[in-house]
Structure 1
Amino acid sequence: MLKMVEKAKEKKIHIQRSTLQKMGEDVEFFEGVESWFDRINSYAREIGIRVEHYIVSSGLKEIIEGTTIAKQFKKIYACEFLYDYTGMIQWPKFAVNYTTKTQFLFRINKGVLTVDTRSERELNAYKEDRERRIPFSNMIYVGDGLTDVPCMKLVKVNGG
């Protein structure tokens, strides 16, 4: 991310949030991905359960936000840039790696979805499993890389 900022400044390329979101508009999904959400949500309603979808990614949040499926997610946790007052990228604001991905699963688990300093105490406070908003045993984690392995293990060892 820092290299992107440096190269953009070096080459005098103006990258804004909208530039990255526009890239997301061009993402092509495999057949069935875009309709999957409606199908799984409909099935869940039929059997009387509530389904929520989240993205926990080491990719760029701004690009993900530009995709046709972004509206399907309750929350998108991914790498973000810091922008200046003109809207140009300035610096990596937030990087997501294999360790921070597990933090986001605990946020979902405990229902502490905001990422700010005010939520840290609530996130780190002990909470009985039965009091947690979404138990790990009710989670399905789908990953595609090595940074997903700790999350897959976390969910699996807790019954998901």
Structure 2
Amino acid sequence: MANIIAIVWDFDKTLVDGYMQDPVFENYGVDASEFWREVNALPEKYKKEQDVLVNPDTIYLNQFINYAKSGKFKGLTNQKLKEFGKDLKFYKGVPEIFKKTKDLIENDPTYKEYDIKVEHYIVSTGMTQIIKGSSVMPYVEHVWGCELIEGKDKDGAPCISEIGYTIDNTSKTRALFEINKGVYSENGREGVKVNTKIPEELRRVHFINMMYVADGPSDIPAFSVVNKNHGATFAIYPKGNMSAMRQVEQMRADGRINMYAEADYTDGTTAYMWICNKITEFAERIRKEEKDKIAKYASIEGPKHLV
């Protein structure tokens, strides 16, 4: 099925005002700034002490596990992470824009005739369970994020204790190809993996029908894949943050993104209108392509009686 428009979202600072871990820090009385300072120092620390390279995108997970095992995050399990998803501070217009963009196409009889649909996906270096507990989930097809395995803390109580799966800013591109090929579509495509060779015409979501929305330079690999394949790219910056605005403006000037706006998705804002307009452009192109296919066959005359 190629009549799907996929909106792929980053999460922290794209949909959430801040970081998804903020409710965890608040609950346990942990200074978030100090935690992130510790995390940012770890790559150099491990390189200097052990001559070991670590992934700066995901090393924070080790620190979360250390805090949980030591009792600083007492009783932090996957279920508790999921519960923290309810406390996230989303930007204005979220999750409403998820539903409105679906309805924009699916409630329009012009597009319903060709079974054109909008799907939402989240690809984040954050924690999958927190995202799954949030208010956007009723509208999301699939989440790619970091997964944690439970074990025991120093007192024998359940807690997160091992890393199960990670997404970093480079492997986000893998998720894009999994969307493209339908690896995690509803009911899945039997036997289809990210490396499965599938002709472009048989792929579930064409890149040209894909939009990637994120907040900054760390998402350049994903922006590049979507741009290269003629999809749409959009960046967000927090209202009033001049340095963040300059950053995304430079990305636009460098051809990394198509457009950007401040982080407000309510009706009438630049973000809302640009995203909806681009979705409609996608739908119109798909509709025209489908009409042209039908017209091609309709123009072929059927057999006639010979005179």
- Find the counterpart in structure 1 of residue 92 from structure 2: 31
Q: Secondary structure at the match of 1:33?
A: coil
Q: Secondary structure at the match of 2:163?
A: strand
- When structure 1 is superposed on structure 2, of 134-143 and 81-90 the one drifting more is 81-90
With CA pairs under 8 Å and 6+ residues apart, which has the higher RCO, 1 or 2?
Answer: 2
Task: Check conservation: 1:24, 1:67, Cα contact below 8 A.
Answer: yes
The structural deviation recorded for 1:88 is 2.5
1:46-125 counterparts in 2 under 5 A?
A: 46=108, 47-48=110-111, 49-84=116-151, 88-113=159-184, 122-125=193-196
Distance 2:145 2:208 in 1: 23
The structural deviation recorded for 1:91 is 0.7
Distance 1:122 1:19 in 2: 31
The structural deviation recorded for 1:90 is 1.4
- Find the counterpart in structure 2 of residue 138 from structure 1: 209
Distance 1:99 1:132 in 2: 22
Structure 1 unaligned segments of length 5 or more: list them.
none
Question: CA offsets, 1:111-138, max 9 Å, x none?
Answer: 1128xxxx89732122211111101000
- When structure 1 is superposed on structure 2, of 25-34 and 133-142 the one drifting more is 25-34
Runs of 4+ in structure 1 over 4 Å off:
none
Does 2:72 correspond to 1:14? no
The structural deviation recorded for 1:147 is 3.0
Aligned residues: 156
Structure 2 unaligned segments of length 5 or more: list them.
1-60, 232-307
Instruction: Say if 1:148 and 1:120 are closer, same or farther in 2 by CA, change over 3 A.
Output: farther
Distance 1:11 1:134 in 2: 45
Task: Check conservation: 2:105, 2:118, Cα contact below 8 A.
Answer: yes
Distance 1:38 1:52 in 2: 10
Give the aligned CA root-mean-square deviation in angstroms: 2.1
One-letter code aligned to 2:121: Y
* Pick aligned residue for 2:199 from 122, 128, 150: 128
- Higher-Rg structure is 2
Larger helix proportion, structure 1 or 2? Answer: 1
Question: CA offsets, 1:11-57, max 9 Å, x none?
Answer: 26121112111211101222211211221111111141201100000
TM-score, length of structure 2 as denominator length: 0.48
TM-score, length of structure 1 as denominator length: 0.88
Q: Secondary structure at the match of 1:15?
A: coil
